[in-house]
């Protein structure tokens, strides 16, 4: 089994994310807490192998720029798709989805998240082991 680490990351790991919203261990480095107009935030997220976030939505969408590793992105009711270094994922407003690392490889992405009066994210239920294992 080959396990990649965060050695290629251009940013430090940051702080551990809340286990309430992630299965496994992820790290968040907030690069831009909020722009001057309060329209977006930018964070670098590092997922250890096997880590994924809960199902969630963004009231005003999100963009993921994959900077290292491999993982999956899945919208509710659709097949999961592999994501890897160099990929860009544009997530429409209100679309229920999850993303995370593969079982054996870490994943790092920059998340550009739009902010509205409704906030930046609505966290939902965890991705089950059955759901996660079905994409591998």
Q: What is the C-alpha separation between 56 and 98, in angstroms, rounded?
A: 6
Q: What is the pTM of this model?
A: 0.92
Q: What is the C-alpha separation between 136 and 123, in angstroms, rounded?
A: 24
Q: Tokens representing 113?
A: 């998240």
Residue 54 per-residue DSSP state:
P
Question: What is residue 129's three-state secondary structure?
Answer: helix
The model's pLDDT over 44-83, given as tens digits with 9 standing for 90+, comes to 999 999 999 999 999 999 999 999 999 999 999 999 999 9
Q: Which of 10-14, 44-48, 52-56, 106-110 has the lowest mean pLDDT?
A: 10-14
Residue 10: pLDDT band with limits 50, 70, 90: confident
**Per CATH, is 31-133 categorized as 2.60.120.10?**
yes
If we measure between CA atoms, which residue out of 123, 107, 118, 116 comes closest to residue 45? Answer: 107
Q: What is the C-alpha separation between 80 and 71, in angstroms, rounded?
A: 10
* Residues 7-13, mean pLDDT to the nearest whole number: 81
pLDDT value for 5: 46
pLDDT value for 136: 76
Q: Whose structure tokens read 């059955």?
A: 130
Own/partner contacts of 80-87, CB < 8 Å, gap of 24 or more, are: 80/134, 80/135, 83/107, 83/109
Q: Which of 4-13, 26-35, 75-84, 102-111 has the lowest mean pLDDT?
A: 4-13
The model's pLDDT over 78-105, given as tens digits with 9 standing for 90+, comes to 999 999 999 999 999 999 999 999 999 9
Residue 6: pLDDT band with limits 50, 70, 90: low
Domain ranges of the chain: 31-133
Q: Is the pLDDT of residue 9 over 90?
A: no
């Amino acid at each position: 089994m080959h396990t990649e680490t965060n050695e290629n990351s251009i940013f430090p790991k940051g702080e551990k994310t809340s286990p309430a919203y992630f299965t496994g261990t992820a790290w968040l480095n907030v690069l831009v807490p909020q722009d001057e107009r309060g329209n977006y935030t930018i964070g670098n997220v590092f997922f250890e192998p096997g880590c994924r976030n809960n199902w969630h939505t963004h009231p005003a969408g999100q963009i993921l720029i994959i900077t290292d590793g491999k993982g999956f992105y899945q919208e509710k009711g659709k097949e999961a798709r592999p994501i890897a270094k160099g990929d860009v994922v544009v997530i429409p407003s209100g679309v229920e989805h999850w993303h995370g690392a593969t079982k054996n490889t870490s994943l790092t992405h920059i998340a550009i998240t739009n902010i509205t009066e409704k906030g930046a994210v609505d966290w939902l239920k965890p991705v089950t082991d059955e759901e996660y294992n079905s994409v591998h």
